[in-house]
Amino acid sequence: MEHSGNDRILLSSAYFAPVYYYHRLIRANTVFIEKHENFIKQSWRNRCLILAANGPMALVVPVEHGRRPGQKITDIRIAWHTSWQRNQWRSIYSAYKNSPYFDYYADEIYPFFHQKHTFLFDLNFGIHQQITHLLKINKDIGFTEEFEVVEAPFDNLREKISPKISIERFDPGYRQPEYTQVFEDKYPFMPGLSILDLLFCKGPESYGYLR
């Protein structure tokens, strides 16, 4: 799994980020997460993609006033007018209950679908800390002190890692290696899914895979 780019990277906040996000994080020497950008809708900031029995499924965290432009990412509040946590956990359970490592990790993931966070950024960073712990990634992560144009030697991935942008557009050497997914009898290998897919399917081998 190779990529072009620098070993100093800037990432956005993300909700159970895609595999590529952690691939780049593991390989980087210096990692910052953007804390001062405005919220971008229809991005990985409040959604992730899993593989369910009927195909790819987006799990979206509802946010208050999410369509209003100019809201700082750290000010975005999670909306609680639906039972989104319960519904998403049911979807994850249904999709991954037969995966090799679901039972191994489920108790570590479930609290994020039970405890209530006020702010999206705090939820995302809590998830990020747990994922790096489970993957045994020992790396210091910094936060930006202000929003600014980022130039070399940093590789600015804030907006590049997006559901709307093909990774090959900015990292043409990248090819995600195949691994056994839950519904391989129904679908060809699907790249670009949430880190949850890799974690439940590859377990302790995930770190080596990401490198």
Give the tens place of pLDDT for each residue, 64-115: 975 566 799 999 999 999 999 999 999 999 999 999 999 999 999 999 999 9
Going by pLDDT thresholds of 50, 70 and 90, the confidence category of residue 152 is low
pLDDT at 140: 86
Residue 56 has which token pair?
A: 């790819």
Q: Are 57 and 50 in contact, with CB atoms under 8 Å apart?
A: yes
d(CA 104, CA 124): 22
pLDDT at 1: 38
pLDDT at 147: 82
d(CA 99, CA 127): 20
Nearest to 14 by CA among 56, 57, 44: 44
Q: Are 80 and 115 in contact, with CB atoms under 8 Å apart?
A: no
Average pLDDT of the residues in 146-156: 76
pLDDT at 160: 95
Q: What angle do CA 126, 129, 133 make, to 5 degrees?
A: 140
**H or E segment to which residue 155 belongs:** strand 154-156
**pTM above the 0.85 mark?**
yes
Q: Encode 145-167: b = buried (16+ Cβ within 10 Å), e = exposed.
A: eeeeebeeeebbbbebbbeeeeb
Nearest to 63 by CA among 108, 123, 135: 123
Q: How far is CA 119 from the centre of its chain?
A: 17
